[in-house]
Amino acid sequence: MSGSDDAVLELRAVHRTHGSGPAAVHALRGVSLVVRPGELVAVMGPSGSGKSTLLALAGGLDRPTGGEVRVEGQPLGALDRRGLAQLRRRRIGYIFQQLNLLGSLSAVENVALPLELDGTSGRRARALAMAALTEVGLPALGDRFPDQLSGGQQQRVAIARALVGERRLVLADEPTGALDSQTGEAVLHLLRRRIDAGAAGVLVTHEARHAGWADRVVFLRDGVLVDTTAPLGSVEQLLSGSDR
Amino acid sequence: MSIRHGLLALLERGQMYGYQLRAAFEESTGSTWPLNIGQVYTTLSRLERDGLVRPLPESEAGQRPYEITDAGRADLALWFATPISRTDRPRDELAIKLALALTTPGVDVRSVVQAQRSATIRALQELTRLKYGSNRPEDLPWRLVLDSMVFQAEAEVRWLDHCETSLVRHRPSAPAPPGDADARDAARWAGEEARR
């Protein structure tokens, strides 16, 4: 795991223990992971294996009890609350199964919110939010409220919010939720496109079909990374079959 | 299947010679089913023997096109109308392998499961990448073939997950040799699962 200079996300021997003594639960036990620009890493593992904990630590939503998490080279442990909040607003996008859209705000206002909280002027935030909504295929629905949108459209708004502005790290936890398979696929397509444009991503999923969108799949078991898929060849190699 | 019915379906579009059939076959399966020219000619001669296709006069370039016969059309229509029986498919080597792994001393079944899962998910990554690169409307037949392979791979992974869970809950006590690390692991696992 050396040569991680260009890593967008780096976990170094990360531990996360809840509680102490005999009742302690070791959610993660020495996990190391590097995710570079243009790379989507899927994390798979049974329930309780530590997938969501890993994602929360990567996004600065939780702090490790051992080891270090870095985002774009910045150790999160060195940041105070405010610095961490700023990094989360500016550089990290989250896509969760629960969309957490605010019902009293329109789609474009929901997307613009993190930018405005960060001091971007209202007009510019709105322009960037419209660009993000266009990227996810909803250019005309910006003024609708969440309850006027279908489930798939709401999920797209949540993705636009995760991608708006200069986000370099996108973290997704079962992002297709209860969407039907076509809509779910469209969501992953959008995520993949953003990664191909230079972001880095971590996708937590229990569905193998979704993990198929990743460049690399790692397997967690009892808080330990136990396996990873071999790197993929080029599409030309795949088509010629020389890779098998 | 049935390269046989594949070729009949292609000839239903119009007469073709061997190399054209091979190219069309690979195009419609997105090269996921490579065919060599020998297989094409062997199949054509069997189809001819059975009266399902007939050869036409050779072209000036020395290529002999084939066309489908009425009997061939009837055979093809029957094929499309008949569901494929699951018992006609090859036996699942993986299921047999895992069943044997469970009862063979010294085999780390969890490693067998994980190695297969990792390989199958890698195949899924490859299939997804191929799909991602094909968005033209005329790619639809190929995308559907890829989708079929995606869903089969996904089912395999789900089954492997199921095997792993079953393994943890109902580890057979039988032939584990003393000091078997896998058995110890499984016991520890089972304990933790029970506490959750």
Nearest by CB to A48, which of B34, B128, B196? B196
Predicted complex ipTM = 0.78
CATH code of B45's domain = 1.10.10.10
Shared-domain flag, residues B100 and B179: yes
Shared-domain flag, residues B42 and B116: no
Q: Which residues contact B155 (CB under 8 A, 6 or more apart)?
A: none
A46: chain B residues, CB-CB within 8 Å = 161, 164-165
Q: For the CA atoms of B102, B103, B105, B107, what is the dihedral angle to 10 degrees?
A: -20
B161: chain A residues, CB-CB within 8 Å = 46
Chains A and B form CB pairs within 8 A to the count of: 69
Q: Which of B65, B88, B111 is the last residue of a domain?
A: B88
Shared-domain flag, residues B149 and B171: yes
Looking at residues B25-54, what average pLDDT do you find? 88
- Local structure of residue A227 (DSSP, 8 states): E
Shared-domain flag, residues B79 and B98: no
8 A C-beta contact, residue A213 and residue B128: yes
Q: Quick one: which of B138, B135, B155 has its CA closest to A186?
A: B135
Going by DSSP bridges, is the β-strand pair A216-221/A224-228 parallel, antiparallel, or unpaired?
antiparallel
Helix, coil or strand: residue A29: strand
Shared-domain flag, residues B74 and B119: no
Going by DSSP bridges, is the β-strand pair A92-95/A169-173 parallel, antiparallel, or unpaired?
parallel
* Number of domains chain B is built from: 2
Q: Which of B31, B59, B88 is the last residue of a domain?
A: B88
Residue A72, pLDDT score:
94
Looking at residues B187-194, what average pLDDT do you find? 46
Q: Which residue has the higher pLDDT, B41 or A98?
A: B41
Shared-domain flag, residues B83 and B98: no
Residue A38, pLDDT score:
94
Shared-domain flag, residues B97 and B183: yes
pLDDT at B183 over 70: no
Q: What percent of chain B has pLDDT over 70?
A: 81
Residue A13, pLDDT score:
96
Shared-domain flag, residues B45 and B113: no
Residue B114 and residue A226: Cβ atoms within 8 Å? Answer: yes
Residue A241 and residue B117: Cβ atoms within 8 Å? Answer: no
Residue A126, pLDDT score:
93
Euclidean distance between CA atoms A204 and A59, whole angstroms: 13
A232: chain B residues, CB-CB within 8 Å = 122, 125-126, 129
Residue A68, pLDDT score:
96
Euclidean distance between CA atoms B123 and B152, whole angstroms: 11
Q: Which of B53, B88, B123 is the last residue of a domain?
A: B88
Looking at residues B46-74, what average pLDDT do you find? 94
Q: Which residues of chain A from 101 to 130 reach within 8 Å of chain B, CB to CB?
A: none
Of A9-23, A212-226, B79-93, B129-143, the poorest mean pLDDT is in: B79-93
Shared-domain flag, residues B39 and B73: yes
pLDDT classification of B171: cutoffs 50, 70, 90? low
Residue B90, pLDDT score:
63
Q: Quick one: which of A168, A233, A237, A225 has its CA closest to A201?
A: A168
Residue B145, pLDDT score:
87
Sheet holding A74-75, edge to edge: A25-35, A9-18, A66-71, A74-75
Q: What percent of chain B has pLDDT over 90?
A: 36
Residue B95, pLDDT score:
84
The pair of three-digit structure tokens given for residue B173, joined into one six-digit string: 């006590």
pLDDT, chain B, mean: 81
- Domain boundaries, position B176: 93-195
Nearest by CB to B125, which of A212, A219, A222? A212
Residue B49, pLDDT score:
96
Shared-domain flag, residues B13 and B75: yes
Shared-domain flag, residues B137 and B171: yes
Shared-domain flag, residues B99 and B37: no
10-residue stretch averages of pLDDT, chain A, 244 residues long: 75 94 92 95 92 93 95 94 89 83 92 88 92 88 92 88 88 82 82 90 93 95 90 63 43
Residue B172, pLDDT score:
56
Euclidean distance between CA atoms A158 and A150, whole angstroms: 12
Residue B125 and residue A207: Cβ atoms within 8 Å? Answer: no
pLDDT classification of B2: cutoffs 50, 70, 90? confident
Looking at residues B188-194, what average pLDDT do you find? 45
Paired with A224 in beta bridges are A221
User: Cα dist. A209→A26, A136, A174, B75, B120 in Å?
Assistant: 29, 21, 12, 36, 10
Q: Which residues of chain A from 5 to 44 reach within 8 Å of chain B, CB to CB?
A: 44
Q: Which residue has the higher pLDDT, A89 or B88?
A: A89
For CA atoms B159, B165, B168, B173, give the dihedral sign.
negative
